Amino acid sequence: MIGFTLFALIYRRNYPAFWNGMGAMAEQIEDPGIVPRGIVEGLLSLTWTATLLLAIAGTQALPTHQAALAIPAQAAILALVTAVLMTVGKPMSNGQVNPVLTAAYAFDRRLPSSWIYSIAQIAGAIIAIQLFERLLGNPVMAAWVTSSLTYERYAGEWLGAAAFIMVLLWTRRSVPAKAALLAGAVLGIAYWASNGAVLINPAFTFAIAYATMETNPVIIDALPSILLAQFGGAIMGLFVGRFIWRRGS
């Protein structure tokens, strides 16, 4: 985290600060800095994923009488880390840390360059999970993945992704300074309300599927449904949010 903060301060002038919006994305079509920012997105995604995995491992190791605190603690860490990374990453990249948001704007504006961010985010998440497996082993994550594969999760992904996009659309117009904090809050609430199943983040979903394809084939079967729910919710949130936005103009 200290390294990311220093990097942001040093390169603040080299990488223009812009937020996640249709107008800002349109400015990047011919932007020569798209690849460096894609690398930053990958590093941010790696940090996000590694932090969440460490939170899961740490809180699941709590004593029995404190086990009820595991999910709320993980949700709080997820919310805080998301807000911090989106804020720190803003001067250097889109600071999205989430392909749901990238894909929703790409679908709306059909910007091919947006997919560089999604690829970088997914790659960062996969690397983080591979490092997690090498350093800490996989039993905690394997048990968590299995317990998270429920059909109720798909509805949660729809609603969570829609809420995530609508909050960002609203904050971009009304309170941009609080956008990262509110985005983190939405992710944290979705995670908490679903008992740790809903993440609204295809980078993490892809990475889990890649990491567990040999030991847990169930998630491979569930992967298309989860991703469709995440992207479908994002697109729905984008169009509903824009409709509300226009009505309020």
Residue 200 gets the label, from left (phi > 0), alpha (psi -120 to 50) or beta, of left
* Residue range 166-183, pLDDT digits in tens: 888 887 766 777 888 999
Confidence grade of residue 4 (pLDDT, cut at 50, 70, 90): very low
pLDDT at 31: 54
Q: pLDDT exceeding 90 applies to what percent of the chain? A: 23
Q: What is the mean pLDDT of residues 2-25?
A: 39
Contact call for residues 249 and 178 (beta carbons, < 8 A): no
Give the C-alpha separation, 125 to 210, whole Å. Answer: 10
Task: Provide the CATH topology of domain 2-11+34-248.
Answer: Glycerol uptake facilitator protein (1.20.1080)
Structural contact between residues 108 and 238, judged by C-beta atoms closer than 8 angstroms: yes
Chain-wide mean pLDDT for the chain? Answer: 77
Distance, in Å, from the CA atom of 46 to the CA atom of 127, rounded to the nearest integer, reads: 7
Residue 247: pLDDT band with limits 50, 70, 90: low
- In angstroms, the CA 174 to CA 176 distance is 6
